[in-house]
Structure 1
Amino acid sequence: MNWIESFLAYLRYEKKYSKHTLSCYKNDLKQLSAFLQQSHQIEDLTLVQYADLRTWVIDLSTSTIAPASINRKITTIKSFYKFLMRAEAIVKNPALRLKAVKAPKPLTEFIEESKILTLLEEVDFEDSLQGWRDKLVLELLYGTGIRLAELITLKNTDLDWANQQIKVSGKRAKTRIIPILHLKATLPAILARYTYFKLQSFPNPDHDFVIVTDEGVMAYPMLIYRTVQKYLTLVTTQLKKSPHVLRHTFATHLLNRGADIRSIKDLLGHSTLSSTQIYTHNSLEHLRDVFEQAHPKA
């Protein structure tokens, strides 16, 4: 029996994991399988012992893979062997004693407020399907803090103009409501122009997704990545330019302007407050800058 495929099916249909997460889990398990075959001549993952997994973690730790990535792989393996235990494919969990490797906690990267405003208010976008799509993508990512997967799966029926809000389907099929009142001066006009070009090119779509490719089908992650990287390059020299950076930027700017951290947690769709508290580090840096500039004794 192919336990990897069974595990992925469980995550997809019962846990409702996103395609991106499933892809990461699949790659992690295939990498582990390849390592065990090469280093220990083990082809059946149900025969693995703790020592085998431990050598794999040590091998990863001596490579150039970041600690955070190693810990994600460990999470994958622990979840996989829990699944095998429940399926009674094994009688002892070899991953039970695996521990996460120590990793530094870097500050989350974000774009300065002035640079984001320059991008959204002063940069010229092409008057075409592609140009208005690009502007809409940036406006939604920064204006709502939604995740990449949430943006791609956003549908026209999720946009509630009457109540000035959008419905987002987040991780594990959890839905949340995000107000868009603050975007009323820009978003409707952008969306209207984008929709005009979209209907001109694809008058009879067979889906309801907001963001589409040049061929009129549902957008894919790399398209959004390329879009974000293209435009962030115009306003910043920082190395990391991804959709998630705009999510970090959304949260950091809210916190810097006095928003309650619990409200930010709900807007981001975090299940625990600890996930949101990473942004307080950025806010402290902001406060230090304010102090240095404003306090008489600074």
Structure 2
Amino acid sequence: MPITNPKALQQFIDYLKFQKRYSQHTIISYQTDLVAFFDFTELTFGSISLAEIKPAFVRTWLASLKEQGMEAKTINRKISSLKSFFKYQLKEELVQESPMSTIISPKTKKRLPQFVEKADINTLFSYVEFPDDWQGKTDRILLQLFYNTGIRQAELVSLKESQVDLFKSSIKVLGKGNKERIIPVSAELLGLLKNYMLEKRQVFEHYDAEILLINEKGNKLYPKYVYNSVKKYLSMITTISKKSPHVLRHTFATHLMNNGADLNAVKELLGHSSLAATQIYTHNSIEKLKDIHKKAHPKA
């Protein structure tokens, strides 16, 4: 089977979509990585079958990526895409062995996630003035949702009114892999959500009734709008370099950990599949403890 034949790739993409139930964003990432690899092998080694792909071919591709200045984190993602693809081919018995079995991922620098300080968050919600129009109300509540629940941008944009439980003070979030999780919300945020939903019915004659947050035209928010709103308001209260919705997710988790929250509980709230992804927040907690120790201990 020529590698240029899209059949093997399409079967794998269908597997990710219908069996693994990955998000469209994740599927596109896999597809992009695999197409780039197959294009490289055909250009470099000619038309070859899946079974003819050797570890040396993969290493040659990875070396070319490194020469282009690609970061280790990005290269690791591409390695992961290839490993998943060939694991599936083994399962389907289309290859006898995976060329990825001897491929070692490059080490990456561990970066502590940036977060907004508590005092700055207090400034945002207590002193920053939001316009008294629909956009201002929407901006304020989307910022509250990010900080109070730690949800991802894609989860917030797709959040439906039906996912808000006013009686149980919680929201049901549909996360990666269509996994559901329940996140408790404060009485303050619950009140804001209730008023927002009631006011929506008074302000708009025609609007997307299913979606929780809508713009001034009554339509579902688009990701760029959400990103720009977060960046705009975080720029007013913090000097950290990154000012994105994901920073507010990091802030949610870091503030929980710094206040003694259980790591497993934070994992569940964030919707992480394993503790490994959540453990990075313990580093921020340790840094906080070091700072307290240095300031408070006589011999520090």
Q: TM-score with structure 1 length normalisation?
A: 0.89
CA RMSD of aligned residues (A): 2.3
C-alpha change, 1:75 and 1:164, in structure 2 (3 Å) is same
Whole-Å Cα distance in 2 between the matches of residues 293 and 103 of structure 1? 32
Give the corresponding residue for 1:238: 240
**For residues 213 and 84 of structure 1, do their structure 2 counterparts lie closer, same or farther at Cα, with a shift above 3 Å needed?**
farther
SS in 2 for 1:178: strand
Match of 1:136 in 2: 141
- The equivalent residue for 1:99 is 104
2:13 to 8, 13, 23: 8
Quote the residue 2:57 is aligned against: 52
Partner AA of 1:71 in structure 2: N
Give the count of matched residue pairs. 295
Shift of residue 179 of structure 1?
0.8
Larger mean CA deviation between 209-218 and 171-180 belongs to 209-218
CA separation of 1:232 and 1:42: change in aligned 2, threshold 3 A: farther
The correspondence of residues 1-298 of structure 1 with structure 2, limited to 5 A, is: 1-2=5-6, 3-42=8-47, 47-180=52-185, 183-189=186-192, 192-193=195-196, 196-197=199-200, 200-201=203-204, 203-205=206-208, 208-298=210-300
Instruction: Give the whole-Å Cα distance in 2 for the aligned partners of 1:199 and 1:4.
Output: 50
Distance 1:191 1:30 in 2: 47
In 2, Cα distance between equivalents of 1:204 and 1:236: 34
For residues 173 and 292 of structure 1, do their structure 2 counterparts lie closer, same or farther at Cα, with a shift above 3 Å needed?
same
Deviation at 1:243, TM superposition (A): 1.6
Contact 1:110 1:248 in 2 (8 A): yes
Give the TM-score of the pair, scaled to structure 2.
0.89
Cα pair 2:134 2:215 within 8 Å, conserved: no
> Residue 42 and residue 54 in structure 1: after superposition, are their counterparts in 2 closer, same or farther (change >3 A)?
farther
Task: Tell me by how many angstroms 1:149 deviates.
Answer: 2.2
Given that 2:207 and 2:218 are in contact with CA atoms closer than 8 Å, whether structure 1 keeps it comes out as no
Shift of the alpha carbon at 1:126?
1.9
State the alpha-carbon separation in 2 of the partners of residues 117 and 45 from structure 1: 56
Deviation for aligned residue 1:176: 1.2
The alpha-carbon deviation at position 187 of structure 1 amounts to: 4.1
Offset from partner CA, 1:148-170 (integer Å, 9 cap, x none) = 22222221111111011111112
How far apart, CA to CA, are the structure 2 residues paired with 1:23 and 1:226? 23
User: Kindly tell me: are residues 43 and 117 of structure 1, through their superposed partners in 2, closer, same or farther at Cα, counting changes over 3 Å?
Assistant: farther
Inter-partner Cα distance in structure 2 for 1:199 and 1:41 = 64
Further displaced range: 278-287 or 14-23: 14-23
- Aligned partners of 2:221 and 2:62: how far apart in 1? 35
Unaligned runs of 5+ in 2: none
Deviation at 1:49, TM superposition (A): 2.4
**What SS does the corresponding residue of 1:100 show, helix, strand or coil?**
coil
| Deviation for aligned residue 1:193 | 3.5
